[in-house]
Structure 1
Amino acid sequence: MNGADLKNNGCAARFMFERARGTRDFGPAEMGRRLAFERMCDEVAFRYGFQRVATPTFERLELFTAKSGASITDQLYAFKDRSDRDLTLRPELTAPVMRMIAEQKGQIPKPARYSYFGPCFRYEESKRGRYREFWQYGCEIIGAPTSLTEAEVVAFACAIVEEAGLEGWQLNIGHVGILNDILGNLGLEGDALGDAMRLLDKGDFAGLAASGIDSTAVTNLQSLAQLNGGIETLASAREIITSMGVESEALDQLEEMLNNLSSLGANPPTLVVDLTVARGLDYYTGMVFEIMVDELGGEGQVCGGGSYKLFHLFGLDDLDPCCGFGLGFDRVLLALEIQAEKSGRSEVVPGENSGASTLAVIPFKVDVSQVLALVSGLRAGGQPVLLELRERNIGKSMAWANSTGAQFAMVVGPRDIESGQVTIKRLSDGAEANCEMSAEAISQTISSM
């Protein structure tokens, strides 16, 4: 093999072992932040009465084609197993949770409140805020199709982004039933209804006119879309809808839901009632919402959901409709990182640096067995301890302790063993404190420094 072959093989090897496009690695600092955010989401979920569930990372392909159509296959990591079954890595988490409930034949306490979290996979263009492997946090409420349920779901989503410290976000909220009432009154149904919904969701009124919808109706729909504000816009919306000869029960439901949401304490920085938002998905049937942030530009939607019907796919029509949301875990973190950098905040996720301070224990010129019982006692008492595993000089060991992110260090040498006293050093500023060489005394000293 000549030099060129070696060089080419080296390049090939490096390419083979590169991280796959659209995926990311998370080091200790990033992982600590992600875990802090996940714990925070779970704490909010607990306060709202949600129970955590989990489903497999891969599912049968037909679960997602039945929900979203065969065209979604191009976006999936689909494959056949050794028994020639069509499987795919899950692209989202709602359908798997529905499948889980269907396998139990719907025999669950109702209403059920489930939360979930995990990685999802889509084969699509990879860019900032959009990844081929991404994480989703979400929830579903099953068995209580009411405006109050919808308010609970939206309030839960708002509570997560508020507790995370996200600033300047906007809640867009609407009701698919209002559009269904209007478009149904215009004689649209089936594919024509779905096409009109998608055009409205994009704000493509020229496309609506080109599709054959009456010009007066298009003008009224455009006026409806241009309403800008919160619950106060519903009076104007009612006038427009009534002028089209439509009585919309969905509008009453939306008003009730918004009043419930306010009473539940949700207080978004900006609330926009958007009566032409359809979430772009055909299975939504009631209230729909999305949470947007400016920092992410075109990928600014960090959460979306609403009321939908999926259980009919499993023959469990009596459980429809349900209500839930999917929160873009990665996008929320990205927006928080951008905002933290702008404001100079040291913490991206509130509390990510909190918790018990870590102590680096450095045995120096003593038999390590003389400190192991002490280390064990500290850990048993809840004190995080990093034990130096290499024999090296004090300078290198202290540099190691600083590099690990430990807040305190304790060198245990022959004199410390003999005297039964140790010195605890705070690494941020070099402050020191002496104490008895016992787990209880060391933990108390760290707490007081």
Structure 2
Amino acid sequence: MNIAVFGTGYVGLVTGVTLSEIGHNVVCVDLDEEKVDAMNKAQSPIYEPGIEEYLKRNVEAGRLSFTTEYSEGLEEAEVAYIAVGTPEREDGTADLRFIESVAEDLAMWMKRDMTIVTKSTVPVGTNDWIRSIINSISSYEFTMVSNPEFLREGQALHDAFHGDRIVFGVEDEQAGETMRAINAPFELPMYVTDIRSAEMIKYAANAFLATKISYINDIALLCENLGANVHDVAAGMGMDERIGRSFLNAGIGYGGSCFPKDTSALVTIADQVGQDFSLLKEVINTNDRQRNLLADKAKERLGSLRGKKIAVLGLAFKPETDDMREAASIPLIESLVLAGADVYAYDPIAEENARRLLPEAVNLVESKEEALAGAEAACLVTEWQEFKEIDLRELPEIMEHPILLDGRNVFSLEAADEAGVEYHSIGRPVVHAPSEEEAQSTV
């Protein structure tokens, strides 16, 4: 099938690449000429493991191309995907300017009756609004489809081919058959519903997962106060199939492009219809509080941070991505810098994005060894594989004080104990908790 994809950000590019991989002819449209030129050379503008191999294979096969021209994108298209960003406004609502712009341009350049698929995450009712925009400009017949994405950054290609489900919200049976035909090669379960329900599924799913994260993080705080171990608590809870073990990993909160934006948007949507979504508001409050936890632990343990070297390991909001949006490293580093610490930070991939978002006072270094050398404490923020492979026994030799504040519970308590490292994690007992005299020696 001939398909046009509007937008080549994270969602749009992965959509275009995977649809071409299963045999469709795809033209992706983006207004950034430099970006389009790079993608036509199989150079990805985003970091996603494996995506350049997919790009190269499908560009060379002639199934995938990129253009800045709407007319070219729609020349042969039978189906058009809208996959532009919907960033969060200050009031928590989704900014739909890019959606509106694409809808207007699409309507101007349509060449035939077609199916229009909204892949972007949009508030309930947005597809009706898109329909009204296109109808005001074009006389062609078209049907709207809501097709929310459920891709995890860093694992998007895997999720596209091995996900739990594909959701369609359709206006009529013909649109449902079109979407089934497009997606049949993925061989994934397909769930077809009405458009507004499909729009809601995306928000409801992400908000529920965010709720699980905030719930276990509040349980972790309670475990610390009561002397319990949250890892064991989560394992015992997760054995109940009604609960499940996924998203019960205590840490320093969620971030990225989806959970923070979608939870805020859902609260705002509820407010607009007069519903106080108090549960989700507290989920957001808990997450905001959790993102400051490592800074609080550092200040409690070290007292004044002025002039002290603090290492930060990991800047991206999760491993296998360079995405810094709503990353826990940002409020942590801002708090450390404000307290006068000399912050040395390292991330395997996200340095370029970090330079635009972090205070100028931060020292962005080229290796974990450089960050750790002579540090009085280290904060582990992102669970990159190279950090998981750190030999804790080497920290007493590298650091001024082998104090590790682990925001992702990467290491076992037993490993920290054997290495002689003072280890503070989330919701678990402190290993080698300092005596009052030892604590004073680092203040």
| Structure-1-length-normalised TM-score | 0.22
RCO higher in structure (CA 8 A, sep ≥6) = 1
State which structure, 1 or 2, has the greater radius of gyration over its C-alpha atoms. Answer: 1
Going by fraction, where is strand more abundant, 1 or 2?
A: 1
| Structure-2-length-normalised TM-score | 0.22
